[in-house]
Structure 1
Amino acid sequence: MSPRLRWETLAHLARWSMLLPVAGLLLGALYFAYHALKEVLLALPLGLEAALPRMVGAVDLALLAAVFLLFGLGLFELFLRKLDLPLENVLAVESLSDLKEKLGQVVVMILVVKFFEKALVFKPQEALDFLLFAAGVALLALALWLTRK
């Protein structure tokens, strides 16, 4: 066996080390999905006023679960093997830039949700507060427009 072939074999086997972070990311996705479900179930018996902040928090947790799921399955597809799932349009990852693009879009959505979490408790004192809040909403709209295809 030539030295080159040994290195290629070793490199091919080393890719299986990515199974550890993939498993951790999938477990993280389950963790955040469970807590999102728990938040929703705790918010259901409350009135609308009290349930809204909890529901926004649940959306935030669900988006975090999506980030972990996308990243875990994306790494699996890149390093181990292609997935044969009906969700190909969502999970199709051909390169690291594809994975970064998908994660970037979800991170922008997390930032939008975090902004609206803060907006729920926002108590404006002056006209400038309203102007800054409107500027924040406009910047979020611009970020969403820039991340669309």
Structure 2
Amino acid sequence: MRKLLFAVAVLLAVPAFAVEPDEVLPDPALEARAREISKGLRCLVCRNESIDESNASLAKDLRVLVRERLVEGDSDVEVVDFVVDRYGEYVLLKPTTGGANVLLWIAGPAMLLLALGIGAVYIRGRRAAGDTPADTLSEAEQARLKEIMRE
């Protein structure tokens, strides 16, 4: 039972092993800031994993870059802006809601409303079509049908 608990504890702590000891800053305040910034940056290799959790070499390079910028005296916003300028906005795990991204944020709900509107118009049209009497056969067509049925 103890081995199982140990194995579960190790598996849950795997993301904590991503930051290697040689990356850790001696100043605890700077290290805490670096960890907080790293949690908001996406690993470009692993996709939906932060650079703080990823073991990829690019994630390590980004973690080192963040720590270098903090040591140089950059603020948290300046560090994130530097990384975004270098790698693009895709590096953010939580993209901004300004600029061209407004289209992406609005497109989903707009398409849903458009689909609901088209569906409502279609259903209303089907109901209206169902209320009209069925087309009846002309007298000539009825006579021809009776003739065919006799054969």
With normalisation by structure 2, the TM-score equals: 0.28
With normalisation by structure 1, the TM-score equals: 0.28
Larger radius of gyration: 2
RCO comparison, higher one (Cα < 8 Å, 6+) = 1
